[in-house]
Amino acid sequence: MVLRMAGIKTARTAELSEGDLLEITRLMEAAFGESFEGYWDDIGPALHFMALGTGEVLAHACVVDRELHTQGHQLRTGYVEGVAAWPHQQGRGHSTKVMQAVNEFLVENYQLGGLSTGVNGFYAKLGWETWKGRTYIRMRDGALARTAEEDGTVMILKTKSTPALNTKAPISAEWRPGELW
């Protein structure tokens, strides 16, 4: 059976209707089996990438601005959030197509791509590398808080302007509400 791949639509959070955000939220809740109440407020403004089918979003990912610090570098990072496909659409390449579009955007617009995941293999196939060093969150007062539970879940995508990095070094992200990484 040959499946026709949906096109990719991009939109900023402010450009999406409440109904659009509700549909994406439902998609993520179905994919992950958990509530995403307050999620959009926690992650802030984003650029959404959506694989569209007939009348529905098949898969979604979004990019938010973050700053990751490692080895003396303060890296303007496109941080990937909300990568999901409806359970009945999984395994059909929709999330891969969305992430390929995200990768192209990151390579052209950021010093680094970043994300946190429990499915490293999916992203590794798309050129992402697992960060092997210790992870930290930079608190509002500048102190570093260790996030050992995140070690091995953070991944990076090198871009045109990524400096030489040692992925075994410590890395930190700024504090934010909700999921820290």
60's enclosing H/E stretch is strand 57-70
Per-residue pLDDT at 37: 92
Classify residue 120: in a domain, yes or no.
yes
Question: Nearest to residue 134, comparing CAs of 69, 47, 48?
Answer: 69
Residue 106's domain comprises 8-174
pLDDT (tens digit per residue) in 81-107: 999 999 999 999 999 999 999 999 999
Minimal CA–CA distance to 64: which of 76, 49, 47?
47
Structural domain tally of the chain? 1
Question: Do the domain assignments include residue 179?
Answer: no
pLDDT in tens, 100-138: 999 999 999 999 999 999 999 999 999 999 999 999 999
Q: What's at 64, amino acid-wise?
A: V
Q: What is the pLDDT of residue 53?
A: 87
Structural Rg of the chain based on CA atoms: 16
Asked if residue 1 is part of any domain, the answer here is no
Q: In sequence order, what DSSP letters do the residues of 6-20 get, joined into one string?
A: PPEEEEEGGGS-HHH
Which phi and psi angles does 109 have, rounded to 5°? -120, -5
Average pLDDT value for residue range 158-164: 97
Main-chain dihedrals φ then ψ at residue 68, nearest 5 degrees: -100, 140
106 within a domain of the structure (yes/no)? yes
Q: Is residue 180 part of a domain?
A: no
Instruction: Give the CATH number, domain containing residue 147.
Output: 3.40.630.30
Per the domain annotation, does 2 fall within a domain? no
